[in-house]
Structure 1
Amino acid sequence: MMNESNTLTTTIFTGNSNHDIIKDPPTPSVISWTTDDVAKWLASLNLSKFIDKFCTENGIDGLTLLLMKEDDLKQSPLSIKRLCDIKKLWYHIRLLQCKHNDFYSNFDNETAKHNHSSLSPTHLLETNFHNTQCSCHINKEKTVFKTLKGEKRKTFASFIYALIIGIWTSFIMVVVHNRVPNVQKYPPLPDLFLDNIPRISWAFAVSEFLIVVMGTAFLLILMFHKYWIVILRRFFALGGTIFFLRSITMLVTSLSVPGPHLECIPEQYGTTREIFSRWLQIFIFQGLSIHGIRSCGDYMFSGHTVMLTLLNHCITEYTTSDFYVIHLLSWFCNIFGMVLILAAHEHYSIDVFIAFFLTSRLFLYYHSLANNAVLHSVSDNRLSIWFPMFSYFEKNIQCMVPNVFRIPWPLSLIYSNTDDQEATNSIAEFNNDKSNRQRKQQ
């Protein structure tokens, strides 16, 4: 790329037989480029054969480059035939557009911003070109938040909301355990899956291990994601809401145990100290059997499936398509974990199905509302009336949160120093090469 981009001496055909030798690169601001600057730019990319078509025949200047689309290269009057040439030209044009992303902020078309139209070069943000990312991500953050004020406070509020729901759900699990139906009087309900699949004793522990693995992966994503504060807030809001619904469903109806292997005997409520002790154990260890917690009666619906599904959707939503292997593994853990829960006969099939459906639908609906720019307008009060918590958490988010990763602190200090040193060395090397070329020319 260096050899290609630094080849600045070439012949340009302007008119019938006039030849100009170009030795200087075009000026930095693309918007102010003339047709001569565009010619210099094409020459520096070893694309001199298109100078006549671009500059002489069609008078393409810098502003025209910023407004071009890929179809403009294919259609008349340019009508470039070779696919290789179209892709090369479009690649370099997109790089110019992305480096001047602030140019598109002059347009008041909000729909074009939020729908990632072909005019705005937003999809280039997900590429691996460091220089392109630097210029685009700075501008992108301005469009994500209307204002940064209060964002951390909202995330803390979502944490308190999830914490209160966790305390409430743990207490309800103590209540439903004390009123679980006696297995001798109320045998397990008929279930198509449980009645035909033999029980695997270790399957439930493996499903909990998968939850721990996916939770660790999600924490790593949060650590490196630029907009982790929004992701964490949404995770707390969705998790708290789903577990609150779960606490209501298991409180209003007590299902019989799904298998005779579960030694679930209704207990007396006991003293306040005993109730508090059982509640504290469930809350601290999050009801995981690998920590020795055994709870009964909390069947409708599966909390383990909720965590598997929510973590899966967060991992796949907030990583780019380059992480396709992680996406496949995440979905595998989600589906396989649900099968293990059923294989352990710890939940009815309907518990697992409803948990997966409800969690995935709420995740989809929440993000569909959050990514709909029209619903965030000041004149539209429907969200604040019907979904006040959502409106509070998302009112400053203007568009889909881009998946931008950065080096977290304190690693960013090491990374910045290394990056600065590399930049200094590159500039010094470039200046040395330039001096050597000038000596040879003299």
Structure 2
Amino acid sequence: MNESNVSKTTIHNGDCNHDIMENFSTSSIISWTTDDVEKWLESLNLSKFIDKLCNENGIDGLTLLLMKEDDLKQSPLSIERLCDIKKLWYHIRLLQCNSNEFYSHLNNETKKHNHSLLSPTHLLETNSHNSSSSCQINYKEKTIFKTPTGEKRKTLVSFIYALISGLWTSFIMVVVHNRVPNVQKYPPLPDLFLDNIPHISWAFAVSEFLILVMGIVFLLILIFHKYWSIILRRFFALGGTIFFLRSITMLVTSLSVPGPHLECTPLQYGTTREIFTRWLQIFLFQGLSIHGIRSCGDYMFSGHTVMLTLLNHCITEYTTSDFYVVHLISWFCNIFGMMLILAAHEHYTIDVFIAFFLTSRLFLYYHSLANNAVLHSISDNRLSIWFPMFSYFEKNIQCMVPNVLHIPWPLTLIYSNTDEKEDKNFLLEYHNERDIRKRK
């Protein structure tokens, strides 16, 4: 075997930390004999392992491709020093990550039996290419989409869904205000928190101010996040679903107002124009009291708590751990805003509790399904039956959405369609691979 088939790894202070003198073909590594493995170890200055690996255990190229880190620790190799284990495993790992074709055959066989993948490249994907002086290993970002086509259309669909849900909820708020129970006949229900905390008139306005602040932070995240369209459609889908459920609950059951300070009296339905005007005001100003909107009867669970909780989870989910201060402030605004809603006596305690629990659980369940590609990539159609909207929005998502920030177009001096080019290149690769499989 030629020495050109042996990988020599060097570390330098240039632009690339890991350079390889020559790339291997998969077939050459599989056909390595123990003598080839011995030459490989010598080229890496790991000659002290030759006796244990080659002479005692007869390890060849195929064995290297099938090895795991635990094999170095356990009998019969039983390498004791951690430094030696890590160094040797690093170089074995490089060989394995350059042998995609070898593992792709095994993966195709195991997929038929629903076994886990054998290839190490599902944890670390590499893209190797030759240059005039060296061959670099480029670590490639894990593919987000099976195919990027139609993703922006899904964001538009989710927006329409949220818009319809918002219009419907605003109309229901007009209806329930017209049939709110009379305070004189139906006094406020007993509430452990409200009965022991004095009414603070300005607290509700402050909670709405916190919603606006968190909304601005979330908008900034959307502007700078590379995968803003996925985040936005999830926000619309979750928000639309929760508020649609809220509209149903407050329509079927009318609770008495939490306190006499609200001065809620049933309104006459009035003319069609008056109903439409109230409906439009509630929708345009999102039912915020700081805009002069006063609605009654929309209880069962708090819409303000829904927005606080949904914005908080979106902010913490789609920013990295480096933003821990932002995460802490976001959680503080969420919890403190809920306390302000109760201090203002605008909702019962159970309203706030149910809103927080329902919103947080729905957010976590949705993302747990979305982040586990196996659950929505199998041929089982139960998911599409019970969660048709989720199945439509997330069927092309391959993995957990990475929190990659980039400079948006208005802030760049020279605009380049980098993301669009990447999507087009990936789409071209996708179709080429599919054509090759069909020919086989």
Q: 1:113 offset after TM fit, Å? A: 11
Quote the residue 2:308 is aligned against: 308
Quote the residue 2:12 is aligned against: 6
Aligned mates of 2:389, 2:229 — CA distance in 1:
16
Aligned mates of 1:309, 1:215 — CA distance in 2:
11
Q: 1:275 offset after TM fit, Å? A: 2.0
SS of corresponding position for 1:261: helix
Quote the residue 1:364 is aligned against: 364
Q: Percent identity?
A: 77
Per-residue CA shift, 1:249-305, capped at 9, x if unaligned?
111111111122212222222222222222222111211222222211111110111
Instruction: Give the letter aligned to residue 26 of structure 1.
Output: M
SS of corresponding position for 2:139: helix
Quote the residue 2:139 is aligned against: 135
Greater Cα offset, 65-74 or 233-242: 65-74
5 Å-filtered alignment, 1:107-186, equals 107-108=107-108, 109=110, 119-120=120-121, 122=123, 135-137=139-141, 140-141=142-143, 144-186=144-186
Are the structure 2 counterparts of residues 88 and 259 from structure 1 closer, same or farther at C-alpha, using a change threshold of 3 Å? Answer: farther
Aligned mates of 2:408, 2:137 — CA distance in 1:
19
CA contact 1:225–1:403 (8 Å) conserved in 2? no
Are the structure 2 counterparts of residues 145 and 105 from structure 1 closer, same or farther at C-alpha, using a change threshold of 3 Å? Answer: farther
Are the structure 2 counterparts of residues 215 and 134 from structure 1 closer, same or farther at C-alpha, using a change threshold of 3 Å? Answer: farther
Quote the residue 2:73 is aligned against: 74
Q: 1:357 offset after TM fit, Å? A: 1.6
Q: Which runs of 5+ in 2 are unaligned?
A: 1-8, 14-18, 30-35, 127-135, 418-440
Q: 1:344 offset after TM fit, Å? A: 1.8
Aligned mates of 1:325, 1:289 — CA distance in 2:
30
SS of corresponding position for 1:294: coil
Per-residue CA shift, 1:197-226, capped at 9, x if unaligned?
222333222222222232233233333333
CA contact 1:204–1:346 (8 Å) conserved in 2? yes
Aligned mates of 1:223, 1:117 — CA distance in 2:
39
Q: 1:241 offset after TM fit, Å? A: 0.8
CA contact 2:103–2:119 (8 Å) conserved in 1? no
Superposition TM-score, scaled by structure 2 size? 0.73
Aligned mates of 1:114, 1:328 — CA distance in 2:
41
CA contact 1:342–1:349 (8 Å) conserved in 2? yes
Instruction: Give the letter aligned to residue 12 of structure 2.
Output: N
CA contact 1:39–1:55 (8 Å) conserved in 2? no
Aligned mates of 2:12, 2:294 — CA distance in 1:
68
Are the structure 2 counterparts of residues 349 and 311 from structure 1 closer, same or farther at C-alpha, using a change threshold of 3 Å? Answer: same
Residue 406 (structure 2) pairs with residue 402 (structure 1): no
CA contact 2:125–2:139 (8 Å) conserved in 1? no
Quote the residue 2:434 is aligned against: none
Q: 1:335 offset after TM fit, Å? A: 2.1
Instruction: Give the letter aligned to residue 209 of structure 1.
Output: F
Which of 17, 21, 28 is the aligned partner of 1:26?
21
Quote the residue 1:424 is aligned against: none
Aligned mates of 2:114, 2:278 — CA distance in 1:
52
Greater Cα offset, 293-302 or 367-376: 367-376
Instruction: Give the letter aligned to residue 331 of structure 2.
Output: W
Aligned mates of 2:415, 2:81 — CA distance in 1:
42
Superposition TM-score, scaled by structure 1 size? 0.73
Quote the residue 1:388 is aligned against: 388
Q: Which runs of 5+ in 1 are unaligned?
A: 8-23, 126-131, 418-442
Q: 1:358 offset after TM fit, Å? A: 1.4
Quote the residue 2:297 is aligned against: 297
Residue 307 (structure 2) pairs with residue 330 (structure 1): no
Are the structure 2 counterparts of residues 199 and 105 from structure 1 closer, same or farther at C-alpha, using a change threshold of 3 Å? Answer: farther
CA contact 1:99–1:136 (8 Å) conserved in 2? no
Aligned length: 385
Aligned mates of 1:215, 1:170 — CA distance in 2:
20
Quote the residue 2:432 is aligned against: none
